[in-house]
Structure 1
Amino acid sequence: MRDVTAIILAAGFSRRMGDQNKLLLPINGIPMIRHVVEVYGAISTRPVLVVTGHEAEDVAAAIAQSNAIPVFNPAYAQGQPTSVACGLRAADDGCDLLVGLGDQPLLTPKDLRDLLDAHAAANVERISIPVRGEERGNPIVIPSALRARLLADPHSPGCKKFTRANPDHVQFHTLTATGFFTDVDTPEAYSSLINSTMEAAQ
């Protein structure tokens, strides 16, 4: 178990999934967001923070009885950077942050431990990002000392702009696990995921 605060972004509109909120679709018999919470919860000594927005009550209900704490982002309609900022503000001081997405159900606890091990073996003062070739993945590891820097720009809080504008504060780790690079945005992606899961179980 690691002393790290996991922040899962779960506030988006899920528009590409159509009428359904992708985070509430079942994975192994439980809502996707609950499955992802359990994966992150398996590697951390701290409660998982889940940033909610769209259908916040339903998402909160899906993670009830878990170790997760829902954190509502009133500005969620303005985009993901506001949800990152909301999660960063809600996290306790003094520990690193693991910021991920609620729609990556292929991630495993081992994947997360591998990323944290890579971060610990490198420069722990830099943001760690998994990569596969030129492709960036999620989650990322944010050192506690950089949290204030990520919140300093009120017009563009969060990670995306900061990591591209400050490459000296970023390091990349080659990690090939599919979970880092696979999210579920469309009905086709969800169907493919379910079919591959069923085939693996046979």
Structure 2
Amino acid sequence: MIRTGLLLAAGASRRFGPQDKLLAPLGGRPLVTHAACALRGTPLDHRIAVIANPALVPLLDGFRIVLIPVGGQQSDSLRAGLGEAGQPDRLLIALGDMPDVTAAHLTRILTAATDDLPSCSHDGTASLPPACFPQARLAALQTLTGDQGAARLLRDLPAAQHIDAPRLLRDIDTPGQIAPT
């Protein structure tokens, strides 16, 4: 079974201000390194990072890098990553601005996905990334457009496919959120 991790780290950081939020320090290191380390600690065969800022490359050792133009939409990042990933049996998708996600949580998501059903994080209210998609569902990811992720593909999953982790699912959008919880 081929398991590939996909780190989406090409957002425009519009709400964060002029600085690339993924380079902002959190706990003494750049924000993006937290999610990258969690993916490195997850049993994966391949790791891919989709970025728009070349300054992130030195922080993503062990990842195949896909560089896309600045200002694209979330679906552009996802499709670029899918193009690089090919047809893995499992595609684990994580976001570069979620610093509290752990390798243990990612491994649980990876394990919960079946050949027919994705699995995802759940905060007690909604289905959220990180999420893992089986090969049978990768074509549905290709159909996404605009600035939305895969949330609509995860909405109606059975409860067994949800991995509860409300304390791990913080994402950073503004400078005020950079303080650790």
Structure 1 runs not aligned, ≥5 long: 197-202
User: What corresponds to 2:172 in structure 1?
Assistant: 184
Determine if contact 2:119/2:163 at 8 Å carries over to the other structure. no
Measure the CA separation in 2 of the matches of 1:154 and 1:84: 9
**One-letter amino acid of the counterpart of residue 129, structure 1:** C
User: What corresponds to 1:42 in structure 2?
Assistant: 41
TM-score in terms of structure 2 length: 0.84
Determine if contact 1:3/1:46 at 8 Å carries over to the other structure. yes
Give matches, 1:3-152, under 5 Å.
3-53=2-52, 56-63=53-60, 66-74=61-69, 77-119=71-113, 123-151=114-142
Measure the CA separation in 2 of the matches of 1:89 and 1:162: 21
Compute the displacement of 1:91 (Å).
Answer: 0.4
Determine if contact 2:3/2:91 at 8 Å carries over to the other structure. yes
Measure the CA separation in 2 of the matches of 1:177 and 1:109: 15
Q: Higher relative contact order at CA 8 Å, sep ≥6: structure 1 or structure 2?
A: 2
Measure the CA separation in 2 of the matches of 1:11 and 1:107: 18
Secondary structure at the aligned position of 1:163 is classed as: helix
Secondary structure at the aligned position of 2:177 is classed as: helix
Compute the displacement of 1:157 (Å).
Answer: 9.9
C-alpha spacing 1:51/1:134, structure 2 compared with 1 (3 Å): same
C-alpha spacing 1:158/1:147, structure 2 compared with 1 (3 Å): farther
Between Structure 1 and Structure 2, the one with more helix by share is 1
Compute the displacement of 1:28 (Å).
Answer: 3.5
Determine if contact 2:42/2:107 at 8 Å carries over to the other structure. yes
**Structure number with larger C-alpha Rg:** 1
- CA RMSD in angstroms comes to 2.6
User: What corresponds to 1:200 in structure 2?
Assistant: none
User: What corresponds to 1:163 in structure 2?
Assistant: 153
**One-letter amino acid of the counterpart of residue 164, structure 2:** L
Greater CA drift, 7-16 or 29-38: 29-38
Count of paired positions: 179
C-alpha spacing 1:35/1:162, structure 2 compared with 1 (3 Å): closer
